[in-house]
C-alpha cells in the first residue's frame, strides 16, 4: 500500500484562505447593511410634497415691526422737522432722519422729501398697500433726488430705510391742520435681505 504523506500547508495558502473568509464576511455585512437601509426606506413613508405653486411675494408677507403708529407734526411757518421711520419718531436729527417735513407759509402745502436715512421711496395713491405693494411701488415709480410729495389728506408714500435691519414703511397722511400741522400714520415691515 501506498501511504500518502501529509501536504505541508504553505503560508500563501493560509493567506488565501483567510482572505477568502474576510471577503465573505465583508460581503455578508454589506448585504446586511443594504437590507437594513432598504427596510428603513420601505417602512418610512415618504414626505408628501406640496405641488401647489409658491405663494406670491405679497401673500408671503414680511414681519410687521409696528402698525399704524401716529406721528404728529406741529411746526411753525417755514419750519422743518425730521422724521425717523425706524422707530417711528418725530423731531430727530437730520443724520438719522428718513423723511424731511417742510412747512410753508401762506397757502402753500407742506412737503415731504426723502432724507439721508432712507434708501428709496415712492409716492403712492393710497394707504391700501402691504410691504410687497410698497416694494413694487418703490421699484417701478421711485422718487428722484430732491422730489417732494405734497402733504394732503389721503396721500401716502412708501419708504425703504437704510437702517440695519432695513425697513419698508408705508406713511399715510391722515390729517392736515393749519400752518405746519399734520397727522401721519406709519406701518413698518422688515425689508427682505
pLDDT the model gives residue 58: 39
Q: Which residues contact 8 (CB under 8 A, 6 or more apart)?
A: none
Of residues 58, 82, 113, 85, the one with CA closest to residue 186: 85
Beta strand spans in 35-117 (E): 64-74, 80-84, 89-90, 99-102, 111-114
pLDDT, one tens digit per residue, over 39-79 is 555 655 444 444 433 333 433 678 999 999 999 999 988 89
Cell of 2: 501506498
pLDDT confidence of residue 150? 93
Q: What is the mean pLDDT of each run of 10 residues along the chain (193 residues)?
A: 60 72 64 56 49 40 92 90 95 95 87 96 94 96 92 95 95 89 95 90
Q: What's the rounded Cα separation, in Å, for the pair 170 and 161?
A: 11
Of the CA atoms within 13 Å of residue 15, those in its CB half-sphere come to 3
Q: Model confidence over 176-190: pLDDT tens digits? A: 988 788 999 999 999
For residue 33, what is its C-alpha cell?
447593511
Which whole-number Å values give the CA distances from 94 to 27, 28, 109, 114, 149, in the listed order? 76, 77, 21, 11, 18
Amino acid at each position: 500500500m501506498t501511504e500518502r504523506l501529509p501536504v505541508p500547508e504553505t503560508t500563501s495558502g493560509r493567506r488565501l484562505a483567510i482572505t477568502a473568509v474576510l471577503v465573505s464576511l465583508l460581503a455578508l455585512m454589506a448585504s446586511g447593511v443594504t437590507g437594513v437601509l432598504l427596510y428603513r426606506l420601505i417602512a418610512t413613508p415618504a414626505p408628501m410634497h406640496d405641488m401647489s405653486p409658491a405663494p406670491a411675494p405679497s401673500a408671503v408677507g414680511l414681519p410687521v415691526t409696528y402698525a399704524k403708529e401716529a406721528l404728529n407734526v406741529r411746526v411753525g411757518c417755514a419750519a422743518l422737522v425730521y422724521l425717523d421711520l425706524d422707530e417711528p419718531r418725530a423731531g430727530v436729527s437730520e443724520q438719522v432722519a428718513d423723511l424731511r417735513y417742510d412747512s410753508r407759509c401762506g397757502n402753500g402745502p407742506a412737503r415731504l422729501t426723502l432724507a439721508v436715512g432712507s434708501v428709496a421711496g415712492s409716492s403712492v395713491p393710497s394707504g391700501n398697500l402691504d410691504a410687497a405693494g410698497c416694494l413694487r411701488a418703490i421699484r417701478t415709480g421711485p422718487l428722484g433726488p430732491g422730489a417732494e410729495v405734497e402733504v394732503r389728506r389721503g396721500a401716502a408714500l412708501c419708504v425703504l430705510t437704510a437702517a440695519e435691519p432695513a425697513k419698508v414703511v408705508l406713511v399715510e397722511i391722515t390729517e392736515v391742520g393749519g400752518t405746519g400741522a399734520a397727522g401721519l400714520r406709519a406701518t413698518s415691515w422688515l425689508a427682505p435681505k
